[in-house]
Structure 1
Amino acid sequence: MNTTTIINWVLWVIIIIWGIYELIQYFRRRRAAKVLTQEEFSKNLRKVQLIDVREKDEYNAGHILGARSLPYTALKQRMGEIRKDQPVYLYDQKQALSARAALKLRNAGYENIYILKGGYNDWTGKIKRKAR
């Protein structure tokens, strides 16, 4: 075997391992929370902890009425602000950050975690914008 063949094999092994890792993470994120349609999500908004995991400037530009800002980047430090005895409703711009946040919360012992299908982009309910 020459050097080029060995390098190709090593690269393929790395790509396969990375693919398997990403697949495992994908399924872990899917199991961490239940994805709700907009109708299901909006039913109990007054009885849940509604959390926007986008960054503060995105939150200020517009957010679901009643949501509080807890950016994903600060979730680990501020997780204590979220009660474990109440359902947690998460959303972000599309849905990717919410899935990651849900996995972090699930790993920290939270159980009733829900994500808005399609995220804020697809939200047609009431919103609020911060005055500048």
Structure 2
Amino acid sequence: PEQIPAEEYKKMMVIDARDKAQFDKSHIPGAVNIEWRQVLAQKDKIPKNKPVLIYCNTGSLSAQAGFALRVAGYENLRILQGGYEEWKTKGGMDAYKKAVNKQPKH
């Protein structure tokens, strides 16, 4: 699977396409919650001029959300393969904390 460099990740809008209860329980830092069924209804919140990463628990619902947005004219979309569960399994939060802690202090 392709890794997203930290610099590129910082420029992305990250959308958690799971329901609010799951988002409130835990999510990828910096993500905003737009449930997969609502992406078209809330597309005004999603910029067309920056990359967008969408995830759900496994990748299937986010793929549907991504397809709907592509049909609506969004081109710079990525789906988190394996979803949030795989991200956690592969140490996503630990990796995120390490990356954040490596940032130079100003």
- Are 1:49 and 1:86, in contact at CA under 8 Å, matched by a contact in 2? yes
Percent identical pairs in the alignment equals: 37
**Does the alignment pair 1:125 with 2:92?**
yes
Alignment length (residue pairs)? 90
Shift of residue 90 of structure 1? Answer: 0.6
**Secondary structure class of the residue paired with 2:68:** helix
Using structure 1 for the length normalisation, give the TM-score.
0.63
Return the match for 1:68 from 9, 26, 32: 32
Return the match for 2:61 from 87, 92, 97: 97
Please name the residue that 1:114 is paired with.
Answer: 78
Kindly indicate whether structure 1 or structure 2 has the higher relative contact order, using CA contacts under 8 Å at least 6 residues apart. 1
Mapped partners of 2:5, 2:34: distance in 1: 19
Using structure 2 for the length normalisation, give the TM-score.
0.78
Q: CA RMSD in A?
A: 1.6
Query: After the TM superposition, which segments of 4 or more aligned residues of structure 1 sit over 6 Å from their partners?
Result: none
Please name the residue that 2:102 is paired with.
Answer: none
Please name the residue that 1:14 is paired with.
Answer: none
Tell me, which stretches of 5 or more residues in structure 1 are unaligned? 1-36, 128-132
- Aligned ranges for residues 28-47 of structure 1 at < 5 Å? 37=1, 40-41=3-4, 43=6, 44-47=8-11
**Secondary structure class of the residue paired with 1:64:** coil
Structure 1 or 2: more helix by fraction: 1
Match for 2:40: what amino acid?
A: K
